[in-house]
Structure 1
Amino acid sequence: MFRLQSLFDFYIKSSIHVALSVYALVRMTQFMFEIPYDKPISFFAFFGTIVGYNFVKYDALARAKKRQMRKELKVIAAFSFLCFVAVGVSFFMLERVTQMVAVGVLILTMLYTLPFFPNRKNARNWAGVKIYIVSLCWVGVTLLLPLVDAHQGLGLDFYLKCIQRFILVFDLILIFEIIDLKNDDPHLKTVPQQIGVKRTKLLGLLLLLPFYFLEFFKSHFIEKQLVVNLILVVILSLFLVFANEKRSRYYTSFWVESVPIIWWLMVVFL
């Protein structure tokens, strides 16, 4: 039992679960725009998420708490290195234009992680900016990259999906910020810190209205997708309503991050 718990914790801490969520959204994009399954872009998104998230999470921690985290960090670092190799292989299998867009997303991620200017904090610590940068990165990786690599035109449906995808990720991060409210640095000025938990939940619920109804403005929409999206809205609403600072870390790191995977599975089976 203890070994299973350790494996599950490694699955969460090594960012495999969040990478599956990104992979699921890439597959959703391929489904929505009728793009054949593309292994290079799917693998690039999956392994790239593991590398990016682990670097963001453990870069500062590795330097600040080397003794406490030494063994665990070594395992995660070795795993991340293997994923980095996989990212490199996948990257060189992408179209040239896709590689250029991917570099742009990488720069945005690095801006979020590393201080580019002397005596300045990285974007992760810029007041109120974190949630927008992360949401934009997810939109870029899960929506823009698959379409560019498939040489799809970026028409009205693309822009509508960009807004929907941004709202989805934004709402997911709101739940994280509610759970982490007591641990976050007040200078971060997260949404709950600025407007309070109740208003944050209300904001998240209100954003689900355009998320759902934008589907009707697509050039062509599938009726079953409306049903799937409605179920997704209900699930997200419940996670928002019941989010609080006393929830276990698995509430967000596993269950909330499972939402994109659930969305994809609903599409596959329905």
Structure 2
Amino acid sequence: MGIPARLLGFYLRSSLHVAASASSLTLMTQHMFRLPYDWPVVLFVFCGTVTGYNFVKYDEIARVRSAAVSNEIRGIAWLSFVCFLGAAVCFFQFRWITQLLSLALLSLTALYTLPFFPNKRNARNWSGVKIYIVSVCWVGVTLVLPLVDAGVAVSSDFLLKCVQRFLLVFSLVLIFEIVDIDKDDPHLKTVPQEIGVGKTKILGVILLLVFYFLEFFKTNRDVPQIYINIVLVIVTALFLIFANEKRSKYYSLFWTESIPLLWLLLVLVFG
């Protein structure tokens, strides 16, 4: 394996790409609500995503199979530790209400990862729950947290954006669940496991259409955003439609995760 491939692999496995995706959605939130870019919030989201995702992915390996940990996993652990320190520095710059929200989201992540009750599996393995926890966490981190820290009052636009963000993230996670349908434990009862791949794609497209048309219910409609969202919905729908269990890991881990980055780029260029 060449150096570029190894670097790309480390970039993906260390959750740097998903962190860039989450940071893009956070910047989108600040743009949509005409807020100045709050870089401590963006950095907190980036560092917190790296730390949280790596904790979810590698916690069991570190606790159960510590002797077999590879050098790459050790490198990811050190990267996660540095990101944890970065998130902690940003955390102490927040308003107290934002700190409380951050701790609540951290608790949800911990519930998702750790078994809190004897002989019980963590929330990640609760049947049918995974996609909802992931979507709620992303809404909380990339939308609610920056708005709360900026002191934005809860309004109809605020709530509409929460629903839209949930629908978008939910649709993106469906792509992952389709690609991983042969790898996921049947007890997870993911959406494609429960209703089939074809119906999952139809559901995802419907949710994307709802996401799009909710934009027209905003009190302060942004005309360029309406056209940009058309591109976002088409691209996401195409990824959803062409998803299958034979796709390579890059289809979901790199290209699907890049959709929020594309959305941000479109806004910066045309918004």
Aligned: 1:170 with 2:170 = yes
1:128 alignment counterpart: 128
**Letter aligned with residue 24 of structure 1:** S
Q: Distance in 2 between matches of 1:267 and 1:205?
A: 22
Residue 154 of structure 1 and its aligned partner are, at CA, apart by 1.1
Q: Please give the residue correspondences for 1:36-185 in structure 2 after superposition, counting only pairs within 5 Å.
A: 36-66=36-66, 69-185=69-185
The sequence identity of aligned pairs, in percent, is 57
- Structure 1, unmatched stretches of 5+, are none
- Structure 2, unmatched stretches of 5+, are none
SS in 1 for 2:35: coil
Residue 40 of structure 1 and its aligned partner are, at CA, apart by 1.1
**Letter aligned with residue 153 of structure 1:** A
SS in 2 for 1:184: coil
Deviations 1:3-26 (A, max 9, x none): 111111111110000000100000
Q: Distance in 1 between matches of 2:66 and 2:241?
A: 38
Aligned: 1:243 with 2:246 = no
Q: Distance in 2 between matches of 1:257 and 1:89?
A: 27
Residue 63 of structure 1 and its aligned partner are, at CA, apart by 4.0
Residue 62 of structure 1 and its aligned partner are, at CA, apart by 3.2
Q: Distance in 2 between matches of 1:209 and 1:42?
A: 28
**Letter aligned with residue 191 of structure 2:** V
**Letter aligned with residue 219 of structure 1:** T
2:252 alignment counterpart: 252
Q: Please give the residue correspondences for 1:224-235 in structure 2 after superposition, counting only pairs within 5 Å.
A: 224-235=224-235
**Letter aligned with residue 5 of structure 1:** A
2:34 alignment counterpart: 34
Deviations 1:154-187 (A, max 9, x none): 1000110011100111011100000000010000
SS in 2 for 1:264: helix
Q: Distance in 1 between matches of 2:112 and 2:80?
A: 19
Q: Distance in 2 between matches of 1:204 and 1:177?
A: 12
Aligned: 1:24 with 2:33 = no
TM-score (norm 1): 0.98
1:12 alignment counterpart: 12
Q: Distance in 1 between matches of 2:68 and 2:189?
A: 29
**Letter aligned with residue 154 of structure 2:** L
SS in 1 for 2:70: helix
Deviations 1:101-134 (A, max 9, x none): 1111111111111111222111000000000000
Aligned: 1:192 with 2:192 = yes
SS in 2 for 1:128: coil
Q: Distance in 2 between matches of 1:63 and 1:246?
A: 32
SS in 1 for 2:182: coil
Size of the aligned set, in residue pairs, is 270
SS in 1 for 2:213: helix
Q: Over the residues paired in the alignment, what is the CA RMSD in angstroms?
A: 1.1
SS in 1 for 2:21: helix
Residue 64 of structure 1 and its aligned partner are, at CA, apart by 4.8
